[in-house]
Structure 1
Amino acid sequence: MNDHFTRRIVCLAAFAVAMTGGNVPATERLERGQTRIDVPAIGDGLWVHNLFQSNMVIQRDKPIRVWGWADPGEKVTVTFAGQSQSATAAADRSWKVELPALPASAEPRTMTIQGKTKKVALENILVGDIWLLGGQSNMEFELPKADNGDLEAVSANFPNIRLFSVPQLNGPDRKPSFPMQYRWSDWSHQHFREGYWDVCTPATVREFSAIGYVFARRLHMATQIPIGVIDASRGGTCIETWLPLELLQTIDTPEVKQMLAEWDKKIADFDPQKDLADRIKRFHERAAKQNAGDRQPPATLLPGPAMDMNRPGNCYASMIAPLAGFPIKGALWHHGFNNALQPNGHVLYYQVFARMIGAWRAAFTDPQLPFGIISLCTAGDPQDRDNYLEKMADEGIYIRAVQYQTFLDLWNAGDKNIGYADSFDQRRSWFHPQIKIPVGERIARWALATQYDKRIRWLPPLLKSVETGNGKILLKLDGPAGPYNDGPIHGFAIAGPDGKFQPAQAEHFNKGNNQFDYSVIVLSSPLVPAPVYYRHAWGRNPLANLKSTDHTDLPFATQRNDTWTLADLYEIYSGKKPATPGILNRSEKNELVRLLRTEDLRRRRAEASALLQENN
């Protein structure tokens, strides 16, 4: 038995002792390829929701809601911190009590839930702040996989930080609860511990979100308040799965309507018998080409797209709804990769993102719930001066831009509990960039400044105005900004009315006598005589270095003042309309990349010619 497996069994045994009569988990051996459910979502008799366990954190300064199930008519009494409330189980077995709010406390306390004949005792409970993590695999990304994650892990002795991973369930029906389980992942070929509250230690943190842990560690170090982190992120998911289906159905845009109609058709057309027959046929075709060994042909009917994690509304119903009503402090969101795989995916993303934030706030009964957005991270080969335009042809950049625009929309509308942190400057070519620790620290800046009254900066440099004329574009910012590593400012492209972009020379505004205004950026290019449009950090792995200059390392965000999509750029550079209006097929996308590559080459030749003439 390896150390990893031993540690899990020890944790299970310790949890069983701590529950002392509660929802006690099983301890059967883990089997490869099989998910082991230790505690069902809802059991017989007196049953407290699986959110409530030993080692948990309860949200401070908000009423304490506790709920579960019991026999109809059974009286249930919950006692915590010297306070008690009772409720009677309804005909559907449900019960709920609400205790008065408490201030933060690192004192370990016991909660008891007393029924007619059974008593549950939950121990080592702290009162502090609970933060929810949402998004996909870059939020899930485990701490030891991050750069210097091993150093963080061996240092993670924080008994007042508690960690929880939401079980990854499926299906369109809202789940009232979830099991406690060890989920087998065919993708990772391992089991993942889900549905348990764990004390943060070097052992338990190893399967936890790197960004989530670093965020919690920084908050706890700065405030000494107990911190609970609930990870509800899920790799490979699109944004539409994280909204309630009934909310999506009210969004009256062509993109959302088409997406819902396509899913309805996909579900209606699915034939489980035909699917099984096709899988059996493929099995035998593969077996004829290679030895199948003792493997058997498939024999199980699959549910098909109805249970797909990306079916609109499914992850909300299966992973957010079971938490609904549980008081928390706030939420973080790091997402975007899968929507960037869809043509014009940013259009739908922008239409639904703010609505998703509102839905999550409603689920946790707090219309002002703090919500921090972390921008889509990098992927692909780095953008540089030689391939600058070619690397602008990526839908992921548009996703990142609408994430920032959604933040600006809410912020400018007076939402002071919306937050934002960029991650595009943590550059790696892999779509799971391992530089996670600075990202967790950066979003912690926002939380500490806005939710814990720490006098530190979190806002990136903000654009105040754009002026054009005399062959230049002037960007006026809300404060000084400069290149992170000194030298020239990189990261801007400009275009005239024709929409043909070129990398811009970017300089601080010279007021005269070499007196510079570091809050004004002047953009120009000899190849764009009358620029009116600009883009910044417009690459999936962008060449961009403009940041705040007060030692806070906050990048000027991905943004633009044009509205052209990739389909528009295809028409601009090729002179042809896409076969499908507004959408590029693969051949057209490849042609656009070739055209931009040719334009990069033309510019480099012009620059080389100018350099030769200057030196002759």
Structure 2
Amino acid sequence: MVLQRDAPITLSGLIARQDGEVDASAITVTLTGDGTRRAGKATVKNNRFTATLDALPASETPYELTVAYGDQTVFHLNTVYIGDVFVASGQSNMELNYEQYYGTTAEARKNLGSAFSLSDLPELVDDPGIHFIRAAHTTDSADFPVDPVMGGEWKACTGTDAQYLGYLPQLFAQRLRTDEPHVPIGIIQTAWGGTPIRDHVPGGRIYKNHIAPLRGMRIAGVIWYQGCNDAWQLQNALDYEARFSTLINDYRTVFEDPQMPFLYVQLARWGGAQYTQYVRQAQLDTLTDPNLKNTANLGMTVTIDTDKGTSSVIHPLGKDIIAARMANQWRAIRAHKAIPSGPLAAAARRTGDGTVQLTFHSGTAQGLRAMKPDYSLSASTDAMATATSQPVEGFEVADASGEFHKATASIDGSAVTLRCPQVRAISQVRYLWAGEPHSDSLLYNASALPASPFILAVSR
């Protein structure tokens, strides 16, 4: 088990007494280790106790947790680490693990397709300092349901146990451990493949026993990858931003941190669902959604260039690249620096007949350049794209009729100028507006991060 460092430690549980009400004054919760003993008194409501202990620094040396009722020990755990705890939520691209998705011939055939082979999968992490607990796919229990494969307990990300744990969260944790090897990482994996976002918000069937039971627990942040199931129907895609901003607000309330880091993945290339580009736009717009109570510590990872050429399958490769980008965002948050981001389009202004100037949000457009993404199986976090003299591709413009035409793009400092002689009065601009766009030259910034796909109305 891992508890969050540098934050008050809140623990809760259920004590059943056959002889009547539970006496809160008889409950003692203690953490023993590092030559010290820390105790917290409990409050009780409906036989469920809650106790808060003082914050502790990170420790790879385990503490012992004891819950006593009077002189009787009712719960004891002898391996409790203090570190950074993340909730890994969403659907299958967050849940994706070897055992469920590639562990049988039938599953491997379904998830590999002809795009890649088992040997192309990322290497499983082997680190006893990374610990997981995985929620079961059930909505029947009233409390957090631990997946039976976990044996009812947290598992270290080592040996054969790693094959049951999500690739993306374990690769993300590995990146963090490289920076701070003395800080244990805990992953609470609640991701559930094939689920729409409505299942994850208050009132949703997953929320009620995967997220709500964690109320009051302090964590380092949430990592989120979801949206494919909302890309099949237009209305779900159009509703995504409102639901997503509600989810972020509520999760920050559940974990009692209004600025809790929330790092999420924009949908990768895949042409299987009709409205993927609309969900991507909703994910982009969430960064500045006025309904968010707080936009601090919110980061989106663009994945339009990460799939290593495997965009024909719904679970593409590239989780190592996504993990690296998310880890860089986490590092920036910890250091109180600007969160790394590729160019984010802010406004489009008509500058003449058939001409538009595109500008970007502050801090995202330094060193704009055209680069060729590496859509090969050998792509890595060290070499994702290379410089090219070819103009940026993927821009389209339309007039009031709504008919889009290709536009040529030229980079002018921190802006991009688009030209299209077929459309004199440009009223809309879009970039990589498809579920599975194909372009050999994409827009990047000096940090070698790609621009997010988008659609924008043009102002005069």
The bucket for the TM-score relative to the shorter chain is 0.7 to 0.9
What corresponds to 1:99 in structure 2? 53
* Residue 73, structure 1, aligned to residue 27, structure 2: no
Alignment correspondent of 1:461: 343
The TM-score, its normalising length taken from structure 1, stands at 0.62
**C-alpha distance in 2, partners of 1:233/1:444?**
19
Q: State the 1:76 CA deviation.
A: 2.2
Q: CA deviation at 1:557?
A: 0.6
What is the aligned partner in structure 2 of residue 236 from structure 1?
194
1:179 to 1:489, Cα distance in 2 relative to 1, 3 A: closer
| Corresponding residue to 2:2 among 57, 66, 83 | 57
Q: Greater shift after overlay, 327-336 or 340-349?
A: 340-349
Q: Which residue of 1 aligns with 2:274?
A: 394
- AA aligned to 1:495 is A
Is the CA contact (8 Å cut-off) linking 1:466 and 1:476 kept in structure 2?
yes
Aligned to 1:409: 289
Matches within 5 A, 1:303-318: 313-318=204-209
| Residue of structure 1 equivalent to 2:94 | 139
**Residue 152 (str. 1) matches residue 152 (str. 2):** no
- Show the 5 A alignment for 1:277-356: 313-356=204-247
Structure 1 counterpart of 2:317, from 411, 431, 434: 434
1:558 to 449, 453, 459: 453
**1:196 CA displacement:** 2.7
Distance in 2, matches of 1:346 and 1:106, equals 43
Question: Are 2:121 and 2:317, in contact at CA under 8 Å, matched by a contact in 1?
Answer: no
- Give the C-alpha shift of residue 143 in structure 1: 5.4
What per-residue deviation string (whole Å, max 9, x for no partner) do you get for residues 315-346 of structure 1?
Answer: 11121112222211110111111111123322
Q: Determine the C-alpha separation between the residues in 1 that align with 2:162 and 2:394.
A: 37
Paired residue type of 2:207: Y
Find the aligned partners of 1:413 and 1:119 in 2 and give their Cα distance. Answer: 40
How far apart in 2 are the matches of 1:99 and 1:380? 50
Distance in 2 of aligned mates of 1:476 and 1:181: 47
In structure 1, distance between residues paired with 2:76 and 2:268:
43
Give 1 or 2 for the bigger CA radius of gyration.
1
Q: Structure 1 residues 472, 378: CA separation in 2 closer, same or farther (over 3 Å shift)? A: same
TM-score by length of structure 2 reads: 0.81
Indicate which of 39, 45, 50 corresponds to 1:84. 39
The CA deviation at 1:106 is: 1.6
For 1:450, the equivalent position in structure 2 comes to 333
Aligned to 2:393: 490
What code does the residue aligned with 1:329 have? Answer: A
Aligned residue identity for 1:67? S
Change (3 A) 1:58 1:436: same
Consecutive unaligned residues in structure 1, runs of 5 or more:
1-55, 183-191, 246-312, 382-392, 510-516, 564-616
Q: 1:494 to 1:448 in 2, by over 3 A?
A: same
Secondary structure of the corresponding residue to residue 498 of structure 1:
coil
Report the CA distance between 1:348 and its aligned residue. Answer: 1.3
Deviations 1:324-373 (A, max 9, x none): 22211110111111111123322211222111111111111222211112
How far the C-alpha of 1:531 sits from its partner, in A, is: 2.2
Counterpart CA distance in 1 for 2:416 and 2:304 is: 20
1:536 aligns with 2:426: no
Relative distance call for 1:538 and 1:359 in structure 2 (3 A) is same
| 1:99 CA displacement | 0.7
Partner Cα separation in structure 1 for residue 66 and residue 96 of structure 2: 35
Is 1:170 matched up with 2:170? Answer: no
Give SS of 1:124's match: strand
Summarize the Cα distance change of 1:96–1:464 in structure 2 as closer, same or farther, 3 Å threshold. Answer: closer
Contact 1:167/1:194 (<8 A) preserved: no
- Specify which structure has the higher proportion of helix: 1
Q: Secondary structure at the match of 1:344?
A: helix
Q: Is the 8 A contact 1:410 1:418 kept in 2?
A: no
| 1:506 aligned residue (399, 409, 429) | 409
| 2:366 partner amino acid | G
Length, aligned pairs only: 405
Deviation at 1:89, TM superposition (A): 5.3
Q: Separation in 1 of the partners of 2:294 and 2:146?
A: 40
Against the structure 1 CA distance between its residues 411 and 425, is the aligned structure 2 distance closer, same or farther, given a 3 Å change threshold? farther
Q: Which secondary structure state, in structure 2, belongs to the residue aligned with residue 355 of structure 1?
A: helix
Answering whether residue 368 of structure 2 is matched by residue 481 of structure 1, we say yes
Residues 89 and 354 of structure 1: CA distance in aligned 2, closer, same or farther (over 3 Å)? closer
CA contact (8 A) 1:345 1:395 kept: no
Percent identity of equivalent pairs: 29
Structure 1 residue 88: deviation in Å? 6.7
* Superposed displacement of residue 474, structure 1: 1.3
Q: Is the 8 A contact 2:91 2:192 kept in 1?
A: yes
User: 2-side partners of 1:413 and 1:355: how far apart?
Assistant: 9
Q: Secondary structure at the match of 2:79?
A: strand
- 8 Å Cα contact 2:196/2:227 also seen in 1: yes
Q: 1:488 deviation in Å?
A: 2.4
Contact 2:258 2:294 in 1 (8 A): no
Return the letter of the residue paired with 2:57.
Answer: P
**Partner in structure 2 of residue 366 of structure 1:** 257
**Cα distance in 2 for residues equivalent to 1:220 and 1:356:** 28
Indicate the RMSD between aligned Cα atoms, in angstroms: 2.6
Q: Cα distance, 1:401 vs. partner?
A: 0.5
Q: CA deviation at 1:119?
A: 4.6
In 1, Cα distance between equivalents of 2:225 and 2:346: 26
Q: Distance in 1 between matches of 2:151 and 2:252?
A: 24
1:198 aligned partner, one-letter code? K
> SS at the partner of 1:217?
helix
Match of 1:129? 84
Aligned to 1:114, the other structure's residue is in SS state strand
Structure 2 portions without partners, runs of 5+:
103-111, 373-387
| Amino acid corresponding to residue 268 of structure 2 in structure 1 | C
1:458 and 1:130 mapped to 2: Cα distance? 21
> Could you say what secondary structure the match of 2:260 adopts?
coil
Q: C-alpha separation between the residues in 1 aligned to 2:356 and 2:262? A: 34
Change (3 A) 1:201 1:531: same
Aligned to 1:472: 355
The residue aligned with 2:419 is 524
2:63 to 96, 102, 109: 109
Secondary structure (helix, strand or coil) at the match of 1:408 reads coil
Q: Alpha carbons of 1:397 and 1:232: their partners in 2 closer, same or farther (altered >3 Å)?
A: same
- Say whether the 8 Å CA contact 2:225–2:264 is kept in structure 1: yes
Residues in 2 aligned to 1:69 and 1:380: alpha-carbon distance in whole angstroms: 47
2:153 corresponds in structure 1 to 196
- Residues 177, 340 of structure 1: CA spacing in aligned structure 2 closer, same or farther, 3 A cutoff? same
The answer (yes or no) to whether the contact 2:157–2:165 under 8 Å persists in 1 is no
Deviation of 1:546 (Å): 2.8
For the 8 Å contact 1:445–1:456, the answer to whether it is kept is no
Secondary structure class of the residue paired with 2:288: helix
Amino acid at match of 1:520: A
Once the two structures are TM-superposed, the CA of residue 412 in structure 1 deviates from its matched residue by: 9.9
